[in-house]
Amino acid sequence: MNKNGKIGIFDSGIGGVTVMRELMKVLPKENYYYYSDSKNNPYGDKTEEEIKKLCDNIVQYLIQQDCKMIVIACNTASAKAATFLRQKYPKINIVAIEPAYKMVYDYAYDKPTLVMATKGTIESEKFNLLLEKYDNHKTFLIPCVGLADRIEKGDLEQINEYLKAIIGNYKNKVENVVLGCTHYPLIEQEIEKVLGKVNFFNGAPNLAKHLKTILEQKNLLKDGEGKVEFEDSQGLLEKKIRFFEILENIGGTRSEIQK
């Protein structure tokens, strides 16, 4: 493992772009290799065995791409496969996103809270342990089946209709919203249109700081200019274009782009 290795990052699609943005803010000099598994999207309704297998293949592939670290930028994959992957690949650092429910405990414990995530994340053992530990007893769990898929397609009208149907009843009744899927930070405005003003909780900024600490401790920080490579499992050019468009819109600043 060397300093010039890449940071591999993957999701079932382009949602992990919201994690990527946070990584680039704190680690602008790194090279990133983003893998979007659109071929197998969505992960939210898949079994644990299926997800482990898909993630295992991606991790092997990212290692071949000379990645010094791997970021699981998908809450569903983290919930179902992170432990398995860490056991299988003990030599590579694997950092995994999870719903920022502990942040609610730390900063806004007394407020009614909505957790939005995929069905897979909400039903997972990992998330339920988190919930048990930090339960504020005013928490509503919303499995948003099909929402990541709608965001992936980018049809705002469909997204708005969906949100009204699934969280409309919570209008003005919750103050915290945990964005438990990496696609959801892309629709904060749409969520507030339905719920009114809320505080969003997203695990990505803390994950990025944590990753930086690991690289510092291991003396693996890269210097110089960084770049972002993108690959989609179906080779879809539109995914690539959309990924970089979104990345720019939400604050990514990287100019040099490869692949």
Residues 54-83 that bind ligand DGL (CB under 6 A): 74-76
- Least distance in Å: CB of 42 to ligand DGL? 3
Residue from 231, 187, 218, 184 nearest 204 by CA = 184
The yes or no reply on residue 233 touching ligand DGL (CB under 6 A) is no
Q: Where are the beta strands (DSSP E) in the chain?
A: 6-11, 32-36, 67-72, 93-96, 113-117, 139-143, 176-179, 199-201, 228-232, 257-258
Is 181 labeled as catalytic in the residue annotation? yes
* Among 121, 124, 139, 202, interactor with ligand DGL by CB under 6 A: 121
Where is 240: in which H helix or E strand? helix 237-249
Q: Which is nearer to ligand DGL, 16 or 252 (CB)?
A: 16
Question: Which of residues 11, 22, 30, 175 is near ligand DGL by CB under 6 A?
Answer: 11
Tell the smallest beta-carbon distance from residue 240 to ligand DGL (Å): 17
Distance separating alpha carbons of residues 148 and 236, to the nearest angstrom: 18
Residue 185 · residue 19 · CB < 8 Å? no
d(CA 28, CA 34): 15
By C-alpha distance, which of 24, 34, 27 is closest to 65?
Answer: 34
Distance of closest approach, residue 77 Cβ to ligand DGL, in angstroms: 7
> CB of 201: closest distance to ligand DGL in angstroms?
14
Query: Distance between CA atoms of 126 and 96, rounded to whole angstroms?
Result: 12
When asked if residue 116 is in the footprint of ligand DGL (CB under 6 A), the reply is no
Residue nearest to ligand DGL (CB): 44
- Are the CB atoms for 197 and 12 separated by under 8 Å? no
Residue from 10, 32, 33, 43 binding ligand DGL (CB under 6 A)? 43
The verdict on whether omega for the bond into residue 28 sits within 30 degrees of 0, i.e. cis, is no
Nearer Cβ to ligand DGL (100/181): 181
CA distances from 254 to 18, 40, 171 (A): 14, 28, 38
For ligand DGL, which is the closer residue by CB, 226 or 236?
236
- Nearest distance in Å: CB 176, ligand DGL: 18
Residue 44 lies near ligand DGL (rule: CB under 6 A)? yes
User: Among 113, 176, 182, 202, which residue sits at the site for ligand DGL (rule: CB under 6 A)?
Assistant: 182
* Among 31, 41, 124, 233, interactor with ligand DGL by CB under 6 A: 41
Active site residues: 74, 181
